[in-house]
């Protein structure tokens, strides 16, 4: 029987989620001020209306993408065990991931 070790891959996913989630939210939030300005009448014309509709569509797509990122992380993390066999690749994730970067 092999010894169990912490799942380093799960730890890495949790760490990456912490940086990815705010970035994903910032993407769709970035358009809020522009859309608010357009709604308040900052620019009024047929082209302005088209522009506002485009901004709104982009924000909706970014919001969907941001939620997809969060959902993907949650699903992957939930599927990972806390402990793995000592010979499992996830037990040495940090070491092997650094080797791949060199």
**Contact by Cβ (8 Å): 83, 5:** yes
Q: How confident is the prediction along the chain (102 residues), in pLDDT tens digits per residue?
A: 679 999 999 999 999 998 887 887 787 788 888 899 999 999 999 999 999 999 999 999 888 888 898 899 999 999 999 999 999 999 999 887 776 655
For residue 42, the model assigns a pLDDT of 93
Residue 4 host element (H or E): strand 4-6
CB-CB neighbours of 32 under 10 Å = 11
CB-CB neighbours of 30 under 10 Å = 12
Q: What pTM does this model have?
A: 0.75
For residue 100, the model assigns a pLDDT of 61
For residue 75, the model assigns a pLDDT of 98
Tell me the C-alpha distance between 31 and 42, whole Å. 14
For residue 4, the model assigns a pLDDT of 97
């Amino acid at each position: 029987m092999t010894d169990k070790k912490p799942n380093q891959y799960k730890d890495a996913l949790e760490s990456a989620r912490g940086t990815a989630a705010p970035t994903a939210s910032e993407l769709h939030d970035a358009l809020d001020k522009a859309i608010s300005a357009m709604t308040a009448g900052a620019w009024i014309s047929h082209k302005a209306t088209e522009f506002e509709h485009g901004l709104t569509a982009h924000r909706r797509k970014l919001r969907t993408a941001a939620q997809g990122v969060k959902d993907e992380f949650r699903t992957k993390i939930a599927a990972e065990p806390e402990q793995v066999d000592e010979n499992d690749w996830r037990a040495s994730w940090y070491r092997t991931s650094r080797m791949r970067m060199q």
